[in-house]
């Protein structure tokens, strides 16, 4: 095949649907590709026909111009697709298989992969541990917001759905397995959510709503979601969450009104480095706000799960320190309360099969809870714009018109 329609970042605030090269089993030079990866052969890979490929809040950081992403970078790390071609070294994955793709690329061979730390694989990014499709400084693996995408180390990376017809009937739910559902779940697991927990989730975007869903799945007694966006808070309330509008004041005071005490057992940061202040400061960006707030409201001995993205380079940051990822966090408070902090990429493979089983057996409705909304790939620029404006939706690109509803 000669062409491949894909969504590309074209500068701050601008994405375009362009025709790019059809993927092959050799990494070629292009926007964002690490020079050390150019010419890298991937006989262990497959070509996927994208069935569902989602717009993520992490993509929005790049599109807003808040990273060093180069123009022309093909976006997209949340991929679900059908195998249409296999490399010569692929043994178990077959043409026709419908699979979920973990957003973090891992080799399955290095020390970290063997320890289950697939978010920080040592072999896929020449610059640092960890990699992802279509993301700045992640090795230059081409993104999956496209009609077709190459997935390396396929026997290791791909989660094959056991029954294609059954999977297609729940494809919007299963499309969340590539990133936000495991990421939200990881945030809750690392925060210590268990039966009877009281949980505060900062952020009612798709990852925050996935974390809230996960908290209930893990047995939480009360899940409180905080945000500035009333539409997104209403979406959280639609499946049983309590909510607080952080523009109206300190979360601690509002939590006390809900629980009768100003602390929770567990805290999840689903906001990241573009956080805003609380109360009267809610119009001002203050990147350490959520971390400091969580240390204030999580009980002594509790934990903070931090799936929200923090970066080492932010050209649009509010000050020089934040431009290199240095934030004024109250570490002394966290130390005094013996808090545990868990950061970094979610190791998707640790959770995705179990969450797939929960979906297929009707134990969770993640697509409903995050308001998953399929759109044609040609509408990607509109989807990015609406999401950036605060739409309470999780946009799912449908490159081949295979998603019903």
Helices (H), 25-179: 57-63, 111-114, 154-157, 164-169, 171-174
Report the chain's terminal Cα–Cα distance, integer Å: 29
Q: What is the pTM of this model?
A: 0.96
Segments of the chain scoring below 50 in pLDDT:
405
Q: Would you state the pLDDT for residue 2? A: 66
Q: 269 pairs with which residues across the strands? A: 202
Report the C-alpha gap between 371 and 368 in whole angstroms.
5
Please, are residues 145 and 7 in contact by the beta-carbon 8 Å criterion? yes
Strands 222-227 and 198-202 turn out to be parallel
Report the C-alpha gap between 381 and 362 in whole angstroms.
33
Q: What domains appear along the chain, each with residue ranges and CATH number? A: 4-179+347-397 (3.90.180.10), 180-342 (3.40.50.720)
DSSP structure class, residue 74 = B
Report the C-alpha gap between 304 and 298 in whole angstroms.
8
Report the C-alpha gap between 6 and 21 in whole angstroms.
9
Burial of 2 (0-12, 13-18, 19+ CB in 10 A): exposed
Q: Would you state the pLDDT for residue 286? A: 86
SS3 (DSSP) at 286 = coil
Mean pLDDT (the chain) is 95
**Each residue's pLDDT tens digit, 244-284:** 999 998 899 999 999 999 999 999 999 998 888 888 787 78
Our measurement of the distance from residue 278's CA atom to the centroid of its chain's CA atoms, rounded to an integer in Å, reads 24
């Amino acid at each position: 095949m000669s062409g491949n329609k894909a969504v590309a970042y074209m500068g701050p605030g601008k994405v375009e649907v362009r025709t790019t090269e059809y993927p092959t089993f050799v990494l070629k030079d292009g926007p964002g590709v690490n020079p050390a990866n150019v010419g890298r052969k991937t006989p262990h890979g497959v070509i996927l026909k994208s069935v569902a490929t989602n717009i993520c809040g992490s993509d929005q950081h790049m599109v807003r111009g808040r990273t060093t992403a180069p123009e022309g970078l093909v976006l997209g790390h949340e991929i679900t697709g059908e195998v249409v071609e296999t490399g010569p070294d692929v043994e178990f994955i077959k043409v026709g298989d419908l699979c979920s793709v973990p957003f973090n690329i891992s080799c399955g061979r290095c020390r970290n992969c063997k320890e289950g730390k697939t978010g920080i694989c040592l072999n896929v990014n020449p610059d640092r541990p960890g990699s992802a499709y279509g993301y700045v400084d992640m090795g230059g693996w081409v993104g999956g917001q496209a009609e077709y995408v190459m997935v390396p180390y396929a026997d290791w990376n791909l989660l094959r759905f056991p029954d294609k017809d059954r999977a297609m009937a729940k494809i919007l739910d299963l499309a969340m397995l590539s990133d936000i559902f495991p990421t939200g779940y990881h945030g809750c697991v690392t925060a210590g959510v268990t039966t009877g927990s009281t949980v505060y989730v900062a952020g009612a975007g798709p990852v925050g709503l996935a974390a809230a869903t996960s908290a209930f799945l893990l047995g939480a007694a009360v899940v409180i979601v905080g945000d500035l966006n009333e539409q997104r808070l209403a979406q959280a309330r639609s499946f049983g969450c309590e909510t607080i509008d952080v523009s109206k004041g300190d979360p601690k005071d509002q939590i006390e009104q809900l629980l009768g005490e100003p602390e929770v057992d567990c805290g999840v940061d689903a906001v990241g480095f573009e956080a805003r202040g609380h109360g009267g400061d809610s119009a001002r960006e203050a990147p350490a706000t959520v971390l400091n707030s969580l240390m204030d409201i999580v009980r002594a001995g509790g934990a903070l799960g931090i799936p929200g993205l923090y970066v080492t380079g932010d050209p649009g940051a509010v000050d020089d320190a934040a431009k290199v990822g240095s934030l004024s966090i109250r570490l002394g408070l966290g130390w005094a309360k013996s808090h545990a902090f868990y950061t970094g990429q979610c190791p998707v493979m640790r959770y995705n099969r179990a969450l797939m089983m929960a979906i297929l057996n009707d134990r969770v409705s993640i697509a409903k809870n995050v308001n998953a909304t399929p759109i044609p790939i040609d509408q990607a620029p509109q989807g990015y714009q609406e999401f950036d404006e605060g739409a309470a939706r999780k946009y799912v690109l449908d490159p081949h018109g295979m998603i019903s509803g």
